[in-house]
Amino acid sequence: MATTSIIKYILPRPTPALALLITVNVLISLLIWSMDGMAGGGGHLATSISRLLTLPPAWKYVAECPWTLLTYMFTQISPAHLLFNMLWLYWFGTYLQHIMSGIQIAGVYLCGGIAGGVLYILAHNSLYYAVPDLTGASAAVIAVITVVSCRMYRTSIRMPYVGNISILWFTLPALLLSFAESNSGEGLALPAHLGGLLAGLVIGCHHMVNRERIHTILHRLRIRRRSRRAREIFTGSLGDRSISASSGRAENRARLDTLLDKIHTSGYDSLSPREREELEHLSHNI
């Protein structure tokens, strides 16, 4: 049975991948704003660069500049937009570091942004009235928050002077605020936010299935080790083992420990298909 974990409310150092995501967002946004400001708010160069980075709402334009499906999620429309998105990315991303690597968190960010962009295009591609280009990291950040909700729903945060608070009390209001903001105006950004939510749900549920699989393997190993130890003590066969059988089992245990260390460091998805088969085989025979 899963247990509730508690995380102290601290400001941890982000992984290099997470820090890179935040840095790129800040630098690109500052570059566009500074160029626009120097041109008095109507600079043609700033407008040209912005159009090269934002995501158009039609496939025929995306086909001409496909990189915008990635660059739009690093381009913020306003300082407030940048501030809130990066604060949430830092806060929830650093909590996600307890169970995922920095590369995996960056993957969640990119998948959420791409899913949001695709859904935005699908929703507005057939419309005849003018729809603005998509900008901002909201869809990508929503994916990160959703994965935190799925993977860490049993986790509590120890707040000073308050006590332990479920992390859902932070993730769910953040998601509600994001969708409330997307419904402002004409609600044009709502499809993008829904895309980020769906991507987060898929990734979060996928990792939950893998986590349950790992728990099953570890539980099976504990039972087998206990039963083997009891059998050895009962039959007195501990001293009658052959040296070759003992060395073979030691090699299998060492290989199993190596695979488990890799899962702990990079997650179950980092295993190749051959390593997964090997893990399954070793868990049945050790």
Which pLDDT score, from 0 to 100, does residue 228 have? 58
**Token match 């900008």: residue?**
135
Local confidence band at 281 (pLDDT 50, 70, 90 cut-offs): confident
Segment 115-134 shows an average pLDDT of 80
Is pLDDT larger for residue 161 or for residue 247? Answer: 161
pLDDT of 136 higher than 50: yes
DSSP summary character for residue 74:
G
* Per-residue buried b or exposed e for 200-220, using 16+ beta carbons within 10 Å of the residue's own CB: bebbbeebeebbeebeebeee
Domain residues of the chain, as ranges?
6-207, 213-285
Is pLDDT larger for residue 251 or for residue 108? Answer: 108
Segment 163-179 shows an average pLDDT of 81
User: How far is Cα of residue 269 from the mean position of the Cα atoms in its chain?
Assistant: 13
Segment 268-276 shows an average pLDDT of 73
Is pLDDT larger for residue 262 or for residue 41? Answer: 262
Number of other CB atoms surrounding residue 66 within 10 Å = 8
Strand, helix or coil for residue 136: coil
Report the distance separating Cα 11 and Cα 191, nearest Å: 32
Q: Return the CATH class of domain 6-207.
A: mainly alpha
What are the pLDDT digits (tens) for 50-89? 778 888 888 888 888 899 999 999 988 888 889 999 999 9
